Copies of this chain bind each other. A is one copy, B any other.
Amino acid sequence: MLPTRVCRSVQASAALRSRVARESYLKKLVKPQDLVHQFKDGQYIGWSGLGEPQMPRTTTDWLRIPGTASPADQNTQTDAVECIQVGYPKETPLALAEHVEKNNLQGQLRFSLFVGASTGPEVEERWARNKMIARRSPHQVGKAIAKGINSGEIDFADKHLSMFPQDLTYGYYSLKRQGGEDGKMLDWAIVEATEILPDGSIVPGASVGATPEILQTAEKIIIEVNTSLPSFKGLHDITPSHMPPHRQPYLVQNPSDRIGQVSVPVDPERVVAIIETDKPDNTGQNAPETEDSKLIAQHLIQFFEDEVAVGRMPKNLHPLQSGIGNVANSIIAGLRDSKFERLQVWTEVLQDSFLPLLNSGKLDFATATSIRFSPEMFKEFYRDWDQYQDKLLLRPQQTANSPEIIRRLGVIGMNTPLEVDIYAHANSTNALGSRMLNGIGGSADFLRNAKLSVMHTPSSRPSKTDPTGISCIVPFATHVDQTEHDLDVIVTEQGLADVRGLSPRQRALVIIEKCAHPDYREQLKEYYDRALHECLKKGAGHEPHMLRNAFKMHLNFEKNGTMKIDKWD
């Protein structure tokens, strides 16, 4: 059964009419307030949009552990990316939040919420505070939502960004919802568009994310047309999601290859409402470079130069994937000042630093699933649209993060972990093994499949009582998201460990020597030496550990606010 049309229609502005070429949609124009009563407790909702920090806001987050320190009084290395999100719906979610607040419905109107990754904090945070989120996948950013997850209120399943959209179409997030109308997985798709084409398809804004699959799997569709943004028509390359055995190769052999359409297909009969909005995306400043981030970038660029010199990489490198944050900014800035030319970018999210790199003439082409510039950079981008439109392409996250393409192109993947252990396992998600920060995002899509998989992190972070109280190199990662089978290079401000082809014993020595902060080098070396001694005696010396001491540094941090211990047992 098709959903009935909703409410009274609203007069379309000239701005809106200029964006909506599908006449029948204009008859469905409503105010968001008119929709709120159609939403029922327990429903499944998908939103457009994607903003995802591939590096956790780590110092801040570590320090939220009770008994240690408050973030405010620290010279933290936070990456301050909480408020940089694009392409998410604003009007309907806010109207729903107002409805809950006005009628004291907190905890009575709870949804399973699915977004490509994270979404606008002014929207999702308000939902979290109003206890409107029962379930959430695959990634999130924001204090209130993280609090809800870590307090047991919200069931959060974090998933590789490349897999979430396909798993949504497979029905893996709606196992208990079989028999929904039309066999669809979601009750609602609420998506933002910058233009609607005559066939009813939509042109997204600065992100694609999982919008194609959310539209594909929802019974009812609400489209918010954002007239405050320019139309992004032509900036997207949209591929549909087929089910096995009908899936097809992604015929991309170069970052600039187009394999799809300029808009996201929509079934017009499932569109129940369109809404006009002029609310801008809530973006903020990018993280400034620091001395440490510059050092890390220098080590990496030197390494790239060495790889080119011995012939293991071409002179223009391979397509770059770079996370979000100050290290990523420093790397891109460093490339601008390097001798590399004709660079290409195949990444998940483009941040500010890429635009100057394009302007410098060093970067030929960049493609991602989301652009997350600061407001100033977006202004520049819109102003010089003609100059950029042939050098940028936005794809669905299933394509942007596709193992198939990342491996084929030989991408250089660079991401920040929370901690790395001496054998090169990395924790990207859970502080002290248990407290979720943001989720794995696309880090493992890239690090597993890149030709060169790099993790960059400061060697230490401050705690309340100790400027180097947290070592980012540990004996045993308290949560493993990237395995030793995946990482090639670990780099800190101290130096770079090239662990390609090394055994765990060799890896431990080089990671401790090159990457650990001097305050922890001996302590880590002693862990390794003792573990080696004990394990060799047992005939178990491949990857030496003292299981009784594996987390001793973390336990000491919880108790005493520093990972520096007196001695190993």
A435 to B548, CA, bound (A): 16
For chain A, residues 443 to 462, give those with C-beta under 8 angstroms from any C-beta of chain B. Answer: 444, 448-449, 451
Contact of A435 among B247, B431, B531, B542 (CB under 8 A): B542
Residues of B within 8 A of A310 (CB): 171, 178
- Min CB distance A437 to B, Å, is 9
Whether A433 sits at the interface, judged by CB under 8 Å, is yes
B175→A433 contact, CB < 8 A: no
Whether A86 sits at the interface, judged by CB under 8 Å, is no
B434→A175 contact, CB < 8 A: no
Contact of A245 among B163, B170, B409, B545 (CB under 8 A): B409
B248→A532 contact, CB < 8 A: no
Whether A543 sits at the interface, judged by CB under 8 Å, is yes
For chain A, residues 214 to 268, give those with C-beta under 8 angstroms from any C-beta of chain B. Answer: 243-245, 247-251, 253-254
Contact of A251 among B249, B503, B542 (CB under 8 A): B249
Residues of B within 8 A of A542 (CB): 149-150, 156, 430, 434-436
B502→A436 contact, CB < 8 A: no
- Min CB distance A421 to B, Å, is 10
B545→A434 contact, CB < 8 A: yes
A65 to B534, CA, bound (A): 12
A254 to B548, CA, bound (A): 49
A470-505 to B contact mask, C-beta < 8 Å, 1/0: 000000101111010100100000000010111111
Contact of A541 among B151, B160, B440, B501 (CB under 8 A): B151
A536 to B501, CA, bound (A): 41
- Min CB distance A147 to B, Å, is 7
Instruction: Output the nearest chain B residue to A316 by Cβ-Cβ distance.
Output: B245
Copies in the complex: 2
A159 to B408, CA, bound (A): 18
- Min CB distance A443 to B, Å, is 10
For chain A, residues 510 to 569, give those with C-beta under 8 angstroms from any C-beta of chain B. Answer: 531-532, 535-536, 538-545, 547-548, 550-551, 554-555
Instruction: Output the nearest chain B residue to A154 by Cβ-Cβ distance.
Output: B503
Whether A410 sits at the interface, judged by CB under 8 Å, is yes
Whether A314 sits at the interface, judged by CB under 8 Å, is yes
Q: Which of A172, A500, A540, A551 has the most chain B CB within a 10 Å cutoff? A: A540
A480→B253 contact, CB < 8 A: no
- Min CB distance A35 to B, Å, is 26
B155→A506 contact, CB < 8 A: yes
B435→A540 contact, CB < 8 A: yes
Contact of A500 among B175, B485, B502, B550 (CB under 8 A): B175
A8 to B519, CA, bound (A): 63
B543→A554 contact, CB < 8 A: no
Instruction: Output the nearest chain B residue to A503 by Cβ-Cβ distance.
Output: B155
Residues of B within 8 A of A254 (CB): 245
A300 to B553, CA, bound (A): 41
Instruction: Output the nearest chain B residue to A448 by Cβ-Cβ distance.
Output: B448
Given A433-B547, A483-B480, does the pair A173, B539 have CB atoms closer than 8 Å? no
Whether A336 sits at the interface, judged by CB under 8 Å, is no
For chain A, residues 162 to 199, give those with C-beta under 8 angstroms from any C-beta of chain B. Answer: 163, 166-167, 170-175, 178, 183
7 A–B pairs (Cβ distance < 8 Å), ordered by A = A150-B535, A166-B407, A245-B253, A403-B448, A432-B540, A434-B540, A480-B483
Beyond A66-B538, A245-B314, A403-B449, list 17 extra A-B contacts (CB 8 Å). A135-B503, A147-B539, A149-B542, A150-B539, A150-B541, A151-B536, A163-B485, A171-B310, A172-B488, A248-B253, A404-B404, A404-B408, A432-B545, A433-B550, A435-B541, A478-B547, A481-B485
